[in-house]
């Protein structure tokens, strides 16, 4: 048994207005190793309940000022689980039966047999100890959950994140489809991977398919595969992602980007658990669990005719919402420090960025890109710590800088943009303008890289043709 904090071992309450019976029961229990508190008045006994903790109560049914039934009800108001053994005279059996229906653990008839009393009490104590052990385990689990600052790559101690961790653990035990919703950069893929890692499928493949990153023309072939000769260039049979996933998990990211003509095919997979390769009439059974994710409102897409309602209901079996940073701003310092520590540790640098001024500044900043944006920002500060760190502190503490040298909010933004542009150009130069290599090196999505290239008007051809790149 676990040690029941706040409970004396084997502490028993005995209540009886008969001093001889009270003394006899107390002596019997003491010889058996119990710690006994004796009361000759029920009111006095009730007063001690909130301050003392007992494993069981033994009480007479007939007592002055309060009968055993009322006494039982009052005890249950304080502690509904506390076992109460009632001692009854011959004429009190009917009342004892009613008391049993109201939660009394047992009733014994006078004269009380010592062995019968000890057996009943032993069982009552064992039951209460199990209840207390379960309470203690539950409390320890809750405390452990409250202290979880990271969970399978997700970072945060905010109650919304603790609830997310609990939901992931529940969903991981099931096999039904999961639909993960959340803003860009909140960690939807990490959630999907956590579900897979905690499931019985953890030793099978986890396959990621980004619907928005695969050209529509080849998406069907990527998902369902094709037979040799199915189309020009199909020189050999190729299995699709669903087949390759086996009995593992297939994660369909940006499900909102799935073309309407392929939505019916995905619906068929969800209904029949089969796929058909391009160029074939043969159905192939598939066993992978489907987890999908979206940063768009699918209900609105249904209303505009861009998403099938029947598919939505098939995907929306076990929904999960990943909170954005604006809903858990108290987690920002923890996440920022994690990424700074990680980068500095990997590059043998000293982390001097997690000071109060920096933390205050990043906590007040909006993060539309959520954790992904914050991660990249932390990396930039580590890389350009000399310039950006100075700007960050001047923006946060303008009084420490002489008049005329304080950059405005716009100059801080410009400094960040300039540093980001320079970093992207260096990456493009290092990888000869190869987009796949660059977005992986920068740890951002392909779409995010293209957006930034357009924003900063960077000429990709200059790098791909080995011309003198922009600076």
Q: Which range (7-21, 85-99, 380-394, 426-440) has the least confidence? A: 380-394
What's the topology of domain 11-143? Answer: Rossmann fold (3.40.50)
In this structure, what token pair is assigned to residue 91?
A: 């004429």
Pick from 441, 327, 310, 326: nearest CA to 383: 441
DSSP string, 384-438: THHHHHHHHHHHH-GGGS-TT----HHHHHHHHHHHHHHHHHHHHHHTTT-HHHH
Q: How many CB atoms lie within 10 A of CB 425?
A: 18
Q: Which two tokens stand for residue 95?
A: 């009342």
Per-residue CA distances from 44 to 85, 141, 168 (Å): 18, 36, 49
CATH of domain 154-323: 3.40.50.300
Alpha-carbon distance values, 404 to 16, 73, 191, 398, 407 (Å):
87, 77, 48, 11, 8
Bridging pattern class, strands 289-294 and 249-253: parallel
pLDDT digits (tens, 9 = 90+) for 131-176: 888 888 777 766 666 568 889 999 999 999 999 999 999 999 999 9
Predicted TM-score (pTM) of the model is: 0.56
Give 224-254 pLDDT, tens digit per residue: 999 999 888 888 999 999 999 999 999 999 9
At 79, list the tokens.
């502690």
Distance CA 26, CA 32 (A): 10
Query: How do the domains of the chain map onto residue ranges?
Result: 11-143, 154-323, 326-464
CB 60 within 8 A of CB 15: yes
Quote the strand ranges of 139-277, DSSP E.
150-151, 154-155, 178-181, 206-210, 249-253, 274-276
Predicted local distance difference test score (pLDDT) of residue 182 = 95
Contacts of 231 (CB under 8 A, 6+ apart): 278, 279
Partners of 37 in beta bridges: 13
Tell me which range, 31-40, 100-109, 416-425, is most confidently predicted by mean pLDDT. Answer: 31-40
Q: Which two tokens stand for residue 15?
A: 């209540």
């Amino acid at each position: 048994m676990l040690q029941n904090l706040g409970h004396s071992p084997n502490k028993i309450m005995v209540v009886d207005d008969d001093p001889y019976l009270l003394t006899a029961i107390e002596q019997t229990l003491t010889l058996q190793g119990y710690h006994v508190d004796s009361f000759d008045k029920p009111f006095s006994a009730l007063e001690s309940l909130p301050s003392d903790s007992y494993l069981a109560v033994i009480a007479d049914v007939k007592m002055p000022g309060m009968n055993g039934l009322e006494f039982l009800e009052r005890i249950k108001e304080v502690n509904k689980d506390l076992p109460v053994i009632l001692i009854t005279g011959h004429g009190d059996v009917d009342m004892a039966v009613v008391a049993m229906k109201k939660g009394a653990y047992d009733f014994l008839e006078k004269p009380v047999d010592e062995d019968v009393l000890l057996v009943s009490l032993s069982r009552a104590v064992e039951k209460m100890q199990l209840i207390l052990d379960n309470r203690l385990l539950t409390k320890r689990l809750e405390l452990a959950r409250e202290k979880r600052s990271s969970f399978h790559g997700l970072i945060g101690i905010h109650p919304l994140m603790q609830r997310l961790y609990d939901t992931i653990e529940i969903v991981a035990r099931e096999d039904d489809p999961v639909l993960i919703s959340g803003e860009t950069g909140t960690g939807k893929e990490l959630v999907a991977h956590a579900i897979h890692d905690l499931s019985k499928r953890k030793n099978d493949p986890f396959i990621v398919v980004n619907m928005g990153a695969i050209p529509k023309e080849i998406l069907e072939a990527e998902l369902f595969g094709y037979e040799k000769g199915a189309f020009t260039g199909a020189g050999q049979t190729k299995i699709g992602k669903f087949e390759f996933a086996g009995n593992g998990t297939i994660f369909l990211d940006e499900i909102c980007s799935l073309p309407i003509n392929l939505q019916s095919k995905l619906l068929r997979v969800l209904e029949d658990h089969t796929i058909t390769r391009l160029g074939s009439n043969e159905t192939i059974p598939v066993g992978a669990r489907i987890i999908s994710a979206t940063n768009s409102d699918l209900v609105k897409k249904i209303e505009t005719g861009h998403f099938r309602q029947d598919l939505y209901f098939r995907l929306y079996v076990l929904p999960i919402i990943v909170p954005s940073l604006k809903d858990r701003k108290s987690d920002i310092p923890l996440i920022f420090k994690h990424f700074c520590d990680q980068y500095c540790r990997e590059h043998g640098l000293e982390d001097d960025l997690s000071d109060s001024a920096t933390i205050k500044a990043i906590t007040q900043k909006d993060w539309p890109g959520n954790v992904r944006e914050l991660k990249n920002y932390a990396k930039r500060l580590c890389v350009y710590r000399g310039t950006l760190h100075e700007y960050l502190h001047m923006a946060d503490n303008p009084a420490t800088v002489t008049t005329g040298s304080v950059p405005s909010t716009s100059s801080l933004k410009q400094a960040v943009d300039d540093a980001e542009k320079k970093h992207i150009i260096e990456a493009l130069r290092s990888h000869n303008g190869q987009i796949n290599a660059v977005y992986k090196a920068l740890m951002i999505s392909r779409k995010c890289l293209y957006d930034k290239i357009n924003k900063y008007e960077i000429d990709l051809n200059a790098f791909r043709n080995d011309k003198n790149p922009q600076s």
